[in-house]
Structure 1
Amino acid sequence: MSGAALMATGGAVCVTGMGWTTALGDDIDGVWRRLVKGDSGIRELAPDARGRPRWAATLPGAGGPATERQVSLAASTASLALADAGCGAEAVDVLVLGSSLGPHLDDACEESPHAWASAAGERLGVRESPVVVSTACSSGSDALLVAAAMISTGAARRCVAGGIDLLSEAKLLGHAALGTASTTGIRPFAEDRDGTVLGEGAGFLVLEARADAEARGARVWGELRGWGSSNDATGPTAPDSSGGGAVLAVERALRKAGVTADEVAVINAHGTGTPANDATESACYATLFGDRPVLSATKPAFGHTLGATGAIEAIALLLSLHHKQTPPMLPSGAALPVDGPVGISVTLGFGGFNTCLVAERAR
Structure 2
Amino acid sequence: MDLTNDSRTDGAADGIAVTGLGLVSAAGLGVEQTWREVTTATAPSNVGPHENLRELPCDFAYTVEGLDIGRWVDAVSARVMAPFARFAVVAAHEAVADAGLDPECWEGGRVAVVIGSSHGGITYHDEQQLVLAARGPRRVAPSMASAITVNSAAGAVCRTLGATGPALGIATACASGTDAIGTGYQLLRAGVVDVAVVGGAEAPCSRPLIASGCQMRAMSRRCDDPAAAMRPFDADRDGFVVGEGAGLLVLERGDHARARGASPRAWLRGYAATNDAHSPVAPSPGGEGLEQALRAALRAADVAPADVGHVNAHGTSTVLNDTIESAVLHRVCGERPLVTSTKAMTGHTLGASGGIETALTVLALQRQSVPPTVNLEALDPRIPVEVVAKEARPARLECAVKTSSGFGGHNAVLVLTTS
Sort the TM-score into its range (normalised by shorter chain): over 0.9
Contact 1:221–1:318 under 8 Å retained in 2 = yes
Alignment correspondent of 1:183: 221
Q: 1:48-59 to 2 correspondence within 5 Å?
A: 52=57, 54-59=59-64
Aligned pair in 2 of structure 1 residues 35, 4: CA closer, same or farther (>3 Å)?
A: closer
Of 203, 208, 231, which residue of structure 2 is paired with 1:166? Answer: 203
Alignment correspondent of 2:97: 83
Partner SS for 2:353:
helix
1:282 matched to 2:334? The reply is no
- What displacement does 1:317 show? 0.5
Aligned pair in 2 of structure 1 residues 161, 317: CA closer, same or farther (>3 Å)?
A: same
State which drifts further: 310-319 or 176-185.
176-185
Give the Cα–Cα distance (whole angstroms) in 2 for the partners of residues 274 and 331 of structure 1: 14
1:6 matched to 2:43? The reply is no
1:358 matched to 2:391? The reply is no
Give the Cα–Cα distance (whole angstroms) in 1 for the partners of residues 370 and 327 of structure 2: 22
Unaligned runs of 5+ in 2: 1-5, 68-77, 129-143, 223-228, 377-389
- What displacement does 1:49 show? 6.1
Alignment correspondent of 2:154: 117
- What displacement does 1:342 show? 0.1
Contact 2:119–2:204 under 8 Å retained in 1 = no
Higher gyration radius (CA): 2
Of 38, 47, 58, which residue of structure 2 is paired with 1:43? Answer: 47
- What displacement does 1:176 show? 1.2
With structure 1 as the length reference, what TM-score do the two structures score? 0.92
Aligned pair in 2 of structure 1 residues 33, 116: CA closer, same or farther (>3 Å)?
A: closer
Contact 1:6–1:153 under 8 Å retained in 2 = no
- What displacement does 1:118 show? 2.1
Identity of aligned pairs, percent? 33
Partner SS for 2:246:
strand
1:135 matched to 2:140? The reply is no
Give the Cα–Cα distance (whole angstroms) in 2 for the partners of residues 105 and 135 of structure 1: 19
1:154 matched to 2:191? The reply is yes
Give the Cα–Cα distance (whole angstroms) in 2 for the partners of residues 35 and 298 of structure 1: 7
- What displacement does 1:105 show? 5.6
- What displacement does 1:121 show? 1.8
Unaligned runs of 5+ in 1: none
Alignment correspondent of 1:340: 397
Q: Pairwise CA RMSD of aligned residues?
A: 2.2
Deviations 1:164-208 (A, max 9, x none): 001323332231122111013011111221100100000111100
Aligned pair in 2 of structure 1 residues 280, 218: CA closer, same or farther (>3 Å)?
A: same
- What displacement does 1:279 show? 1.7
Alignment correspondent of 2:88: 74
Of 277, 290, 294, which residue of structure 1 is paired with 2:338? Answer: 294
Aligned pair in 2 of structure 1 residues 136, 344: CA closer, same or farther (>3 Å)?
A: same
Give the Cα–Cα distance (whole angstroms) in 1 for the partners of residues 173 and 80 of structure 2: 18
Contact 2:177–2:353 under 8 Å retained in 1 = yes
Alignment correspondent of 1:256: 300
Give the Cα–Cα distance (whole angstroms) in 2 for the partners of residues 33 and 344 of structure 1: 21
The one-letter code of the counterpart of 1:334 is: E
Aligned pair in 2 of structure 1 residues 117, 318: CA closer, same or farther (>3 Å)?
A: closer
The one-letter code of the counterpart of 2:201 is: I
Aligned pair in 2 of structure 1 residues 135, 345: CA closer, same or farther (>3 Å)?
A: same
Contact 2:88–2:153 under 8 Å retained in 1 = no
Partner SS for 2:120:
coil
Of 102, 106, 122, which residue of structure 1 is paired with 2:120? Answer: 102
State which drifts further: 109-118 or 214-223.
109-118
The one-letter code of the counterpart of 2:10 is: A
Give the Cα–Cα distance (whole angstroms) in 2 for the partners of residues 238 and 85 of structure 1: 38
Aligned pair in 2 of structure 1 residues 346, 224: CA closer, same or farther (>3 Å)?
A: same
Contact 1:267–1:345 under 8 Å retained in 2 = yes
Aligned pair in 2 of structure 1 residues 120, 153: CA closer, same or farther (>3 Å)?
A: closer
- What displacement does 1:341 show? 0.6
Q: How many residues align?
A: 359
Give the Cα–Cα distance (whole angstroms) in 2 for the partners of residues 117 and 288 of structure 1: 35
Aligned pair in 2 of structure 1 residues 74, 4: CA closer, same or farther (>3 Å)?
A: closer
Partner SS for 1:206:
strand
Deviations 1:295-340 (A, max 9, x none): 0111000000111100110011011111111111015701112223
Contact 1:237–1:350 under 8 Å retained in 2 = yes
Partner SS for 2:214:
helix
With structure 2 as the length reference, what TM-score do the two structures score? 0.80
1:28 matched to 2:31? The reply is yes
Alignment correspondent of 1:15: 18
